[in-house]
Amino acid sequence: MAESTSGLDTLELDAKLKKYRLNRHELGLITEILGREPQGVEWALFSALWSEHCSYKSSKVHLKKLFSRSKRVVEGFGENAGVVDLGQGERVAFKIESHNHPSFIEPYQGAATGVGGILRDIFTMGARPIALADYLCFGEPAAPRMRQLLDGVVRGIGGYGNCVGVPTVTGQTEFHESYNDNILVNAMAVGLFAEGERVFLSKARGAGNWVVYAGAKTGRDGVHGASMASESFEADSAAKRPTVQIGDPFFEKLLIESCLEVMAQDLVVAIQDMGAAGLTSSSFEMASKGGVGLRIDLDEVPLRDPTMTPEDVLLSESQERMLLICEPAKFAAIQAIFHRWGLDACKIGEVRDERLVELAWRGETICRIDPDALVERAPQYMRAYKPWKARNRVGGEAEVSTGVEDGARFLLSLMGHARGTSREWIYKQYDSRVGAKTVRDCSDSVAVLRLPGSGRGLGIVLGCRPHVMRWDAREGGIDAVAYPAIELASKGFEPLAVTDCLNYGNPEKEPVMSEFVASVEGMSSVCEKLDAPIISGNVSFYNETMGRNITSTPATGLIGLRADVDGVPASRFTREGETVFALRLPMAAIGGAAQELTRQPATGYGQLEPSLIAPFTRLLLSLTGARPGGPIVGSSRVVGKFGLAYALARMCEGGVGCRIDDEKLKTVRGELSVDDLFREHLYEVILTATPGKDAELEAAVREARGALAMAAFLPIGRTGGRALEIGSLLRSPLDLLAQAYGTGVWARMETGSDKTGEVRA
């Protein structure tokens, strides 16, 4: 292609392709679809909608294989968020999404607009947002800008979520050097449809219906944001920033109320928020999904800056804007509702039968194009990858060394280390109870909301443990669903459905793509066994800075359901003299997070078997769920990062200690060593019975275990005292642990006087 028909020479063409982030192959495809080369704003349209961010061109071939249906799924992929039927007239919409690149550039606004965007995905479907959760990955606390990024992101999430009146009920915060130059900010939102409330979709319908623009005016914010999110960071990323998008939670609150009111009165045919690639993606997607055409008069779009070009108008990512389709006769009523809430709504176009999107500007038609060309016909790449081979394996459990010798000293240093310490400094900055549904908040391992209609409990938990991903991507993918599912089950919640936010490096690099495929397959296989489909999410590729990729991080959000909210097991010991039980499904053991801190190479033994995870959650549920005679499990915790000693220390947070018996521990684990106390056995759950129910709990396990002979259940000790004692291996006074675990690290980090806790093995 030396000389193109449009008269551009090779250099000019290359410059244009670079500007619009398209390649020659893609230009060829566009030319084939259009029967000519793209012109004018078409370049910008293809650039935005064929970007990785909007088109999923590197991931779609694999995402199609995800387990995504169950009898509970009302809406899955393709809509703004997935919707699940909880029965009894209640349905929830939920989704998780990334805002990594914007948050690295401007942490406060990046995180804030991430929250705003995910909330719009929820209420655009007609659901009232009832909860937020955040999955955050930061670099090492001492890395450049990291304190500022952490502070800005936390303030941004709080600033937006608190103001808009949606509680932040759970979260996960990771620290690792692989995120030093590329942090992850993933926000999940959950919305509730009460009985009789309709689910609204984004399919435009009905020739002659009006296209209505509502909410904030359009400014130059984030023009080309979608294609930027599809690129790696370079050293000069500071220099090529588009105008930062500013979020206004106050405005969003008004938008939520007005949109929900408009939908409650059944005034709209279809609705979609203007997110990535703004008006372009919302209009073309609504047309494509509805199988109709639209004519949009760009001069009617309310602008903040009158000097904007049509390209700017189409690509602006100004926040808090919605696109609605309505019957002409209903427009006045819609406008009245928006006005009452102090917002504007105006007609900017019409729906047509002919499947063409026609854009007009200053009286001229500047674009006439089949919406499917942009939405459905983007290229799909089968990026190079290799079939997964297990890695970092050793011959046996005993070889999985964490290198820890002084258990008490190591445990104490973990409690004060950024990776092990309390997240209270973070979550105290979030309103956890607005909405008056919160039963368990960020201080617990699973968030619990009470569904007002039925009085049942909705459990929310985030997943993906990057240190497991660093050990082995396939196992890490399985764990990203299995671990949170077991957490839900440990509190009596049946896992129902999953949303995922797939954060990876550059998909054009084979090792990255290989991890992507392996982990996504791992996730999907567990979902299928659990009958908990993946119903929404997004993919964030190109989390790469100057050639360095992040840890592949498939963050997940799971929701679960239980029949009541009263019998949810505590996460801490509450009474002295109780028997401490361990329920185990021994499939694998890894050196895990402890190994990373002691700078040992990552090793592990065994492998996770998805087909065993479902029966294990069912076994747990039979113990922890609501029972006619009242609950029999008083407290529970899944043993996670840093292994058993750390999990027990967390269970002692309430001030009730425990004493674990050497001999019993040896019976359970087959080995008695300080090293083993910090290994991570997949999977292991600590339980205590409610008062006087030990025998009943043991009987219940015997009864339910039939289906899972591999599972072991044994008493390992008793609660009581003011110390954590693990036989002859470790003794830590609770006040010392509590002191180390307090908010000290954060407070010192805030003032810059301390970088992070020091680890002593």
Partner 1 sequence: MKIGVKVMPRKEVLDTQGRAVENTLREHGQKLDRCTVGRYIVLDLPDADSEAAMARAKTMAETVLCNPLIETFELERL
Partner 2 sequence: MSRRVGVLRFPGTNCDRDVWQAVEMAGDRPEWLWHADRFDAAAYDALYLPGGFSYGDYLRSGALAARAPAMRSVREAADRGVPVLGVCNGFQILTEARLLPGALVKNQSLRFNDDWVELEMKNPVPHFAGPVGPGARVRLPVAHADGRYYVEDDELKRLQDNGQIWFTYVKNPNGSVADIAGVKSEKGNVAALMPHPERAMRNWMGGSDGFAFFKGRG
**Cα 629 to Cα 436: distance, rounded to the nearest angstrom:** 28
Quick count: other Cβ atoms within 10 Å of Cβ 600?
16
**E strand or H helix that includes residue 682:** strand 680-689
Give yes or no for residue 341 binding partner 2 (CB under 8 A). yes
Give yes or no for residue 156 binding partner 1 (CB under 8 A). no
Q: Residue 127 is encoded by which pair of tokens?
A: 């659901």
The smaller minimum CB distance to partner 2, of residues 356 and 434, is found at 434
Give yes or no for residue 250 binding partner 2 (CB under 8 A). yes
Give yes or no for residue 309 binding partner 1 (CB under 8 A). no
User: Partners of 324 in the beta sheet?
Assistant: 212, 271
CB neighbour list of residue 518: distance below 8 Å, 6 or more residues apart = 388, 473, 474, 477
- Count the site residues for partner 2 by CB under 8 A: 31
Segment lying near partner 2 (by CB under 8 A), choices 118-126, 434-442, 459-467, 525-533: 434-442
Instruction: For the CB of residue 405, give the shortest distance to partner 2 in the complex, in Å.
Output: 39
Give yes or no for residue 413 binding partner 2 (CB under 8 A). no
Peptide bond into 683 cis (omega under 30): yes
> What does 164 bind: partner 2, partner 1, none (CB cut-off 5 to 8 Å by kind)?
partner 2
| Member of 288, 413, 438, 732 binding partner 2 (CB under 8 A) | 438
| Member of 55, 170, 432, 551 binding partner 2 (CB under 8 A) | 432
CB neighbour list of residue 152: distance below 8 Å, 6 or more residues apart = 103, 106, 107, 108, 110, 111
Cβ atoms of 557 and 460 within 8 Å: the answer is yes
Q: Would the CA dihedral through 472, 473, 474, 475 be positive or negative?
A: positive
Instruction: For the CB of residue 537, give the shortest distance to partner 1 in the complex, in Å.
Output: 28
Q: Residue 362 is encoded by which pair of tokens?
A: 């200053």
Q: Which of 602, 641, 685, 662 lies closest to 399 in space, CA to CA?
A: 602
Give CA 501 to chain center in angstroms: 5
| Member of 33, 63, 199, 246 binding partner 1 (CB under 8 A) | 246
Active site residue 467: no
Give yes or no for residue 241 binding partner 1 (CB under 8 A). yes
Segment lying near partner 1 (by CB under 8 A), choices 216-224, 561-569, 621-629, 630-638: 216-224
Give yes or no for residue 109 binding partner 1 (CB under 8 A). yes
The smaller minimum CB distance to partner 1, of residues 305 and 750, is found at 305
Site residues for partner 2, 549-568, by CB under 8 A, read 565-566
Active site residue 99: yes
| Member of 213, 251, 361, 683 binding partner 1 (CB under 8 A) | 251
183, HSE (Cβ side, Cα atoms, 13 Å): 34
User: Partners of 447 in the beta sheet?
Assistant: 460
Instruction: For the CB of residue 743, give the shortest distance to partner 2 in the complex, in Å.
Output: 11
The smaller minimum CB distance to partner 2, of residues 245 and 514, is found at 245
> What does 431 bind: partner 1, partner 2, none (CB cut-off 5 to 8 Å by kind)?
partner 2
- Count the site residues for partner 1 by CB under 8 A: 20
Give yes or no for residue 305 binding partner 1 (CB under 8 A). yes
> What does 381 bind: partner 1, partner 2, none (CB cut-off 5 to 8 Å by kind)?
none
The smaller minimum CB distance to partner 2, of residues 138 and 251, is found at 251
Q: Which of 56, 241, 243, 216 lies closest to 120 in space, CA to CA?
A: 216
Q: Residue 155 is encoded by which pair of tokens?
A: 């303030």
- Coil, strand, or helix at residue 313? helix
Give yes or no for residue 253 binding partner 2 (CB under 8 A). yes
Instruction: For the CB of residue 635, give the shortest distance to partner 1 in the complex, in Å.
Output: 45
Strands (E), 591-672: 604-606, 633-638, 658-660
The smaller minimum CB distance to partner 1, of residues 113 and 574, is found at 113
**E strand or H helix that includes residue 730:** strand 730-733
Give yes or no for residue 105 binding partner 1 (CB under 8 A). yes
Strands 270-273 and 447-450: unpaired
**Cα 102 to Cα 121: distance, rounded to the nearest angstrom:** 18
Give yes or no for residue 278 binding partner 1 (CB under 8 A). no
Q: Of the residues 62, 99, 176, 467, which is catalytic?
A: 99
The smaller minimum CB distance to partner 1, of residues 6 and 148, is found at 148
- Coil, strand, or helix at residue 51? coil
Give yes or no for residue 273 binding partner 1 (CB under 8 A). no
**Cα 287 to Cα 375: distance, rounded to the nearest angstrom:** 9
Task: Write phi, then psi, for 758 (nearest 5 degrees).
Answer: -95, 140
Q: Residue 165 is encoded by which pair of tokens?
A: 């009146």
Instruction: For the CB of residue 115, give the shortest distance to partner 1 in the complex, in Å.
Output: 14
| Member of 129, 141, 219, 634 binding partner 1 (CB under 8 A) | 219
Peptide bond into 213 cis (omega under 30): no
Site residues for partner 2, 126-165, by CB under 8 A, read 155, 158-159, 162-165
The CA dihedral of 434, 436, 442, 443, to the nearest 10 degrees, is 120
Kindly list the residues in this chain that would bind partner 2 in the complex (CB under 8 A).
Answer: 155, 158-159, 162-165, 248-251, 253-254, 341-342, 427-436, 438-439, 450, 452, 565-566
Catalytic residue numbers read 53, 99
Kindly list the residues in this chain that would bind partner 1 in the complex (CB under 8 A).
Answer: 105-106, 109, 216, 219-221, 241, 243-244, 246-248, 250-251, 304-305, 318-319, 342
